[in-house]
Amino acid sequence: MGQRLNRCLDVPGALPPPLLPLKRRLLLLSIMLFLWLYMFYSCAGSCAALPGLAPRGSAPPEDSGPGEPRAAPAALSPISAFLNGSGSKRLPQAIIIGVKKGGTRALLEFLRVHPDVRAVGAEPHFFDRNYERGLAWYRDLMPRTLEGQITMEKTPSYFVTKEAPARISSMAKGTKLIVVVRDPVTRAISDYTQTLSKKPDIPTFESLTFKNRTTGLIDTSWSAIQIGIYAKHLENWLLYFPIGQILFVSGERLISDPAGELGRVQDFLGLKRIITDKHFYFNKTKGFPCLKKAEGSSKPHCLGKTKGRTHPDIDQEVVQRLRDFYRPFNMKFYQMTGQDFGWD
């Protein structure tokens, strides 16, 4: 039977099957190689993510303590990021922690011009309001970043939240912190102005400032006053972070010399000084600098209408009493930071 089959196939003059053109064979080979690599790295990533399959030599994961969020999974490898096409989500390496009405939104918008900075737009409020949601939830809020880029967020209320320093330190002790500070009297008036725009029926600034105006006793329980006692809040942060890991940005200089302050911030973050004078112009109507080109746009950009509100007229005697009240706290803050902000 086998001999018959051989004779049938061995037809005199039969031609061998035609060979595929060289270019087509190379193309098919390239496609097969790419698919093989894709399957290999996909499998490697999936296997690495499985519980109990940590790389050899790595320490076993530690259990989270009571009330602490479970650690988030590790970031994707550069190859996986390449295959995904848009990088991976990482926990922030730097956080703008304060202060409210100090200029934090302006600083974040200016920083986002830098190609190596990616920041979440909305304030996450993770370390003060949403901590029970866990680090995985927090990381999912972050934008995707490529290798070498910095992930950032800003939530000004962190600076005055007692639990925030310990919680951020628990996430990553090396997190870089940025605090934008401003003359506490001007900051308090700005804070009141914002509240007034939402609640026109609130009492006057003067009546809220004092527990008893006759005696001149300042009401430090009012948040607009309490936030400006910077030295008190900083003491709490220094229990968990060294002073060199915290950068203090002047809200006043952020307006008068934005490029200068941004230069300090870029140095602090280990970034190349890309944001310079050429990125800003001064808007006389707003009263502060704006970007010539915002992130992802070719058009000029100023902060929204909620920024730069006109402050109400405040009794100058009240303003002076507030300056006297803040003076010793300011002096201590200057000593702690090694910077004279010139508020007195």
**Residue 272 assigned ligand-binding role:** no
Among 89, 101, 154, 176, the active-site one is: 101
**Residue 148 assigned ligand-binding role:** no
**Residue 30 assigned ligand-binding role:** no
Instruction: Check if the beta carbon of residue 182 is closer than 8 Å to that of residue 249.
Output: no
**Residue 213 assigned ligand-binding role:** no
Q: In 3D, which of 232, 223, 243, 216 has the Cα closest to residue 329?
A: 232
Question: Could you confirm whether 101 is annotated as catalytic?
Answer: yes
Q: What is the dihedral of CA 233, 238, 243, 244, to 10 degrees?
A: -120
**Residue 182 assigned ligand-binding role:** yes
**Residue 308 assigned ligand-binding role:** yes
**Residue 101 assigned ligand-binding role:** yes
**Residue 105 assigned ligand-binding role:** yes
**Residue 286 assigned ligand-binding role:** no
The Cα–Cα gap between 269 and 212 comes to 45
**Residue 190 assigned ligand-binding role:** yes
**Residue 260 assigned ligand-binding role:** no
Which residues carry a binding-site annotation for 3'-phosphoadenylyl sulfate?
101-105, 182, 190, 307-311
**Residues carrying an active site annotation:** 101
Which residues carry a binding-site annotation?
101-105, 182, 190, 307-311
